[in-house]
Structure formats: C-alpha cells, structure tokens
Structure 1
Amino acid sequence: MEKLISSRCNLQSVPESYILPPERRPGELIVPLCNTIPVIDLHGEFGCNRSELIQQIIKSSQEFGFFQLVNHGVSVELMRDVLIVAKKFFELPAEDKASLYSEDPKQCCRLYTSIDYATEKVHFWRDNLRHPCHPLKDHLHHWPQKPTQYREVVGRYSVEVRKLSFWLLDLIRDGLGLESGYFRDNLSQVQLMALNHYPPCPDPSLTLGLPKHSDVNLITLLNQQDVLGLQVLKDEKWLAVEPLPNAFVVNIGLMLQIISNGKLKSADHRVVTNTSVTRTTVASFIHPSSDSHIEPAKVLVSKRSPPLYRAFIYKDFVITYRVHTHEGKPPLEHLELPS
C-alpha cells in the first residue's frame, strides 16, 4: 500500500525512481490542443443515420485510431456518478483499500500502482483499480465494498458501456464488410474496467502517468474528468485531447488493426500529469478471450491485399505486448509478414 503514489502526501520533488530518461520525458514544451479530433454525435439514440455513422467511424478509425463520442445514450448522471465513485474509492483510508492491493496480475480485482512496479526500471505516476465486469454475477462479489455505492454504480455503468461498445463493434463490422456476428460470435469477449488515478505531480516534465502505448484489446471507451492529460501521437507530433463534457474517448485497439488487416489504426497515446489537480478516469476495455485465434479477417485478404500479420493466440500476444511496450518496441513488429 505504501507504494501507491497517492499514499505519498506532500511530495516536494519527483522521486528518482519516477524520473524518466531524458529521451522519454514529456519535457516542458506546450503540447497543442488537437482541434481536428473527430467528434461523432449519436443524437441520443442508437441506429440513427446508420450508414453515415458507419462512414464517420471507419474514417476516424483509419485516420486517427480514435474519436470522441457524444449524445451516446449513457446518461449524464451515470457518467458523472461513476467518476465520483472512482474518486471516492481512491480517497478511502489505506485500511479500506489494503485487501485489494496486489502486485499479482492474476488477482481478479486488483489495486496496484504504475504498470509493473516490481520489475520496471522507472515507475509511472498512476494508481489503478482493475477488475472484470461480465457477467456481473460472476464478478460483483470481488469488487470493493466501499464506497457503499461502488458495486451498484459501477455495475449499472459497466452494463451500459458494454452495450455501447458492442454496438460500435457492430458498426465497424458492417463498415469492414465482415459477416454478421463476427465480433459477437467468433470472439468470446472479456470486459475489464480500469479506474485510473493521477495525483498532482511536483514536476510533470520529468515523469508520465502512462508511457506511449497502443491499447492491446479490441476497443476502449474512456470516461474522463474535464482535466487535460490524455495525449495522442499524430504524424509524429503529440497532441492534447480536450475533454468534452459527457463524451467517451473511443480507442481502436491493436486487435482491430490486425483483424482489419491494417485498414483501421490503433493510435499511440500517453498520459501526462499536472501540478495542481488530481485526474481520474474510468476505462472499459473489450478484449478477446485469452484463447481466441486472431488473424486478419479472411474476407479482407486477397492476392491484391495479402495478410499483413500472421495468426496467433491472444494470450500469447499479451505476454509479448507487455514486454515490448515496457521496452519501447513496436508491439506488432514481430507479427508483421513480408510484403
């Protein structure tokens, strides 16, 4: 528990173990706000202007690898309440969180800090609570009992965001021309919820909340406070993502890049800190099951468009992804086939 960065009150300087090598630091340069990030408006109901929505989502996923989603059907109250309960969790006394803290990634509901604190050379300015969500009846009893409203609020939220995630995957499926049920039937999807907590940092130029990475999964929906922190790499330049009220940031995962045979892009992104305000986010990740067979969809492969990646089992890739991401290596490089 003492390793949690949020447990280290009144730090006047960045501990040496959090200071990144000069080439990996965010530095003191001002990162411009990105005013070209796609914003897709669902107009409050699923299914409206379906063909137009498909075109917008595919174009955004090809050019940026992410977009912001507004008027998406998840209530303003629920979006707000899940961020409030997440913030309350991290503000709990240490004794109320101690039973959840673990450095074992196999623990079902796990509170930890940085990414892999025990083995990494430099730590990251983040505490994280992560647990599976679906089906609720199998996992709910492992979740925190405090704050008292945690299970009820996060439970309702996880159901709504899962429904929205699969609706987006169905649109992507149609936009790519994949067969009906491709994601729902061919891949047994796992939903993980991650609560991220980034306390104020004495010198944000020296460290990061999260390093440069692409999401390993299929699709991510991020609900964030109105505090700057998320940055995306576009044309080799970092751009700050301005939080929109009650919007989801949707990230295309590496598995969608592979399944689409490179037609969709998984964007590199990172998280920076600030000196004055705690930033809290809630991310829902849709993963394939660990034993899923992943490869470019056969309908997207031809003599004119040969496969860009070799086939693999998802759990095997996750192991190499962690190693390569920590080492700063491109995670797909070892899967790429010669052109």
Structure 2
Amino acid sequence: MTKSTETVPIIDVGSLRRDPRDLARIGAALDRACCEFGFFYITGHGIDPALSARMMTLAREFFASPLEQKIAIAMAHGGRAWRGYFPVDGELTSGRPDRKEGIYFGTQLGPDDPRVRAGVPLHGMNLFPALPGFRDALLTYIDEVTAAGQLLLKGIAVGLGLAPDYFQERYTHDPTVLFRIFNYPPSTASADENELGVGEHTDYGLLTLLRQDEVAGLQIWHHDRWLPAPPVPDSFVCNVGDMLERLTAGRYVSALHRVRNASTQDRISMPLFLDPGFDAVLQPIEVLAPDPTAAGRRRRGRRWDGTDLATVSGTYGDYLLNKVSKVFPQLRAKVF
C-alpha cells in the first residue's frame, strides 16, 4: 500500500519481507518516490518498535546528562575513527554552525581489523555513553536498520530494472555504515526562520533511514518550496543520497533537506546512512540514461555545495573524507 502525508509518499514494505514476489510492485513505488521527491516514508519495516523506543529513551537520557559526562566521549577522543560526542554549534553545515548536539557511531571494528591497523579514517571503535544497556541496544539497532536498508536497495534495484542484488554485489556487500543520534534544542525566544537545527544539505551516500521522534522539524525542498516531513508513527523517513544520484545518472536526485525545531521541546532524530563500501569505485549504471530535468525538480538549479555529481569519480571513501573534513574543521588537521 502506498499513500501520502501531504505529498511525501508512505510505502508499506511489509510484503517485501514476507514475499519476494512483491519486489516488482514495491520497486515501482520506490522508483516513483525516488524520482519525484528523493524522499519517502516506510512502514512495515519489521524493526521491533520496542527497540526503537529503547534507543529514543537512551538518547534522551544521554542528552539530559551533565556536559562533563557527555564530553567524556567527545570526538576528540575518537581519533581517526571519527566517533563520539559534539556539542551544540560543534558541527558545520553549509559553513554555518548547526543548532544541535549529537553522537557519531559506525560499524564496530576491533584493533585487529586490517583497516584499523592500517589507520584508514572512519574505521574503528565506537565511544559508548556510560548508560546501562546502551552499547548492546545500539549495536542491535544498527544491525537491524542496516538489514532493512539492504532490503530497500533490492526493491530500488528492481524498480530501476536491475537484478535485486545489484547494489549488494557492487557496493554494499561490505557497506560503510554511519549512525548518528542528534538532539535539537527548543527554539530560542529570539529565533527567526534562519535559525536552523541543521542547514540545507544533501546526504553523501546511497540511502538514509531516519527514525524521528514526535517533534516535527524536518523539511524537504520540492518544487520551489519547503515541505514538512512530520512524524508518522512507527515509520522511517528515507532519502536518496549523493551516490544514488551519481549511480543513476541523475534519475534520482539527492534532495535538499533541513531541520528547524520551532517547538518548545527537544527533538531527537536517529539517521543511519547506508553507504557504498569505502573502496567502492563510483560508476554510473550503464543502462540508465541521464535525466536533465531532475535537478530542477528538487533544487534551485544547483547543489547546495556547488558540486557537480556527474563529475565525481574515484572511490566513495575519497568523496566521504572530502565532505566530513569540512563538517568539523577543528578535527580535520588533527585527524586527517
């Protein structure tokens, strides 16, 4: 079943888990959503609501902790793994500080992993808050959401006329998985529409799966205006990333989005970024022709950062390191 909230589609993917024969129908719905919006909700994803609720509770407990406890796992302690906590105004988007705090996580890799031993950036151990049960809940949650994302990529592949395992065989058999937990403080008394929790941007990888709490704030750029993406119970908001635009030659566009928390409550969001393997080489899917009208549908005629994705080459790791080094300039020289 596909329906919409305002205009952003909601796609029930439950049958995708139960019956592989439904790949074609779900794939067609995903293709329409990725072409028209670059965003969609999914329900029927199979992730235990109790696990998601547990992660939300743990996140609120952490962000309510005294600053000195949060700083104990600051990103400065994460080294080349690029993990840990950052305070409000500690991250830049479009060159401006974001009004949010957060924690960076990724695939948990021990010191004997070859990539860790080689010092490959963005690979290593997570820094976990000192909260009972946090580590186990987090790692289980990452595994389950990653599995849901891999299933969605099968549907997207079929929607593009490709074999179901196209992305897994070429890009996500050993994916780069990045997970963030963000807290957006309430709007200030003097706030105007330019005070943003995170400024307009696109995501870097293939597919983002976002769990958001009941506080609204996410906005999507579509047809020359910002559309709200309000909370939908037991759903994930998913969006196309830069690499999916690159691989589909512009058929799918990595859509601009931003967050403005205009409420009097804190807002928790938990995005997981399912990205190509770090060493994956970026090449457009040969059977897909470029769509010259795509960029104009959901962007102001140009990307937020001026990048022409059609010219991006090399590995995903190259692209990712170039991006993240601009988000935390104070760590760039130290880590990279």
Q: Smaller-chain TM-score range?
A: 0.7 to 0.9
The match for 2:202 among 194, 214, 217 is: 214
CA shift digits 1:42-100 (9 cap, x unpaired): 23761443211111001100000010011211112112111111111111222322221
Quote the offset at 1:297 in angstroms: 1.5
Q: Which residue of structure 2 lines up, in the alignment, with residue 267 of structure 1?
A: 255
Asked if 1 retains the 8 angstrom alpha-carbon contact of 2:31 and 2:159, the reply is: yes
Q: CA RMSD in A?
A: 3.1
- Asked if structure 2 preserves the Cα contact closer than 8 Å seen for 1:143 and 1:151, the reply is no
Q: Which residue does 1:241 correspond to in 2? A: 229
- For 2:264, which of 272, 276, 293 is the aligned residue? 276
Residue 40 of structure 1: aligned partner: 11
**Structure 1 residues 163, 116: closer, same or farther in 2, change over 3 A?**
same
Describe the SS at the equivalent of 1:177: coil
**Does the residue aligned with 1:239 lie in a helix, a strand or coil?**
strand
Choose from 96, 103, 106 the match for 1:129: 103
SS in 2 for 1:270: strand
Q: Is the 8 A contact 1:204 1:274 kept in 2?
A: no
Q: Is the 8 A contact 2:157 2:167 kept in 1?
A: yes
Aligned 8 A contact 1:222 1:283 in 2: yes
Q: Bigger CA drift: 162-171 or 121-130? A: 121-130
Q: Distance in 2 between matches of 1:233 and 1:240?
A: 9
Q: Aligned with 2:179: secondary structure?
A: strand
The match for 1:56 is 29
Partner SS state of residue 6, structure 2:
coil
Q: Does structure 1 residue 254 correspond to structure 2 residue 242?
A: yes
- Relative distance call for 1:106 and 1:282 in structure 2 (3 A) is same
Alignment of 1:130-279 (within 5 A): 130-133=104-107, 142-179=126-163, 181-187=165-171, 188-202=174-188, 203-279=191-267
Task: Map Cα deviations across residues 284-325 of structure 1 (whole Å, 9 max, x no partner).
Answer: 1112233321121223359xxxx9545332233235546899
Q: How far, CA to CA, are the matches of 2:136 and 2:192 in structure 1?
A: 35
- Which amino acid in 2 is paired with 1:40? I
Alpha carbons of structure 1 residues 319 and 193: separation in structure 2 relative to 1, 3 Å: closer
Change in CA separation of 1:239 and 1:185 when aligned onto 2, cut-off 3 Å: same
Contact 1:178 1:297 in 2 (8 A): no
- Is the 1:296–1:311 Cα contact (8 Å) retained in structure 2? no
Unmatched 5+ stretches in structure 1 = 1-32, 327-339
2:334 corresponds to which residue?
none
What's the TM-score once normalised by structure 2's chain length?
0.77
Q: Distance in 2 between matches of 1:150 and 1:216?
A: 27
**In 2, distance between residues paired with 1:50 and 1:115?**
43
Aligned to 2:66: 93
One-letter code aligned to 2:40? F
The answer (yes or no) to whether the contact 2:86–2:103 under 8 Å persists in 1 is yes
Gap regions ≥5 residues in structure 2: 114-123, 291-308, 329-336
Q: Is the 8 A contact 1:69 1:247 kept in 2?
A: yes
Partner of residue 55, structure 2:
82
Deviation at 1:186, TM superposition (A): 1.7
Q: Does structure 2 retain, via aligned residues, the 8 Å contact 1:288–1:314?
A: yes
Number of aligned residue pairs: give it: 290
> Could you tell me the percent identity over the aligned residues?
26
Contact 1:204 1:275 (C-alpha < 8 Å) held by counterparts: no
Classify 1:325/1:238 alpha carbon distance in 2 versus 1 (closer, same or farther; 3 Å).
Answer: farther
CA distance, structure 1, for counterparts of residue 202 and residue 109 of structure 2: 26
CA contact (8 A) 1:204 1:273 kept: no
Q: Aligned in 2, Cα 1:105/1:258: closer, same or farther, shift over 3 Å?
A: farther
Secondary structure of residue in 1 paired with 2:17? coil
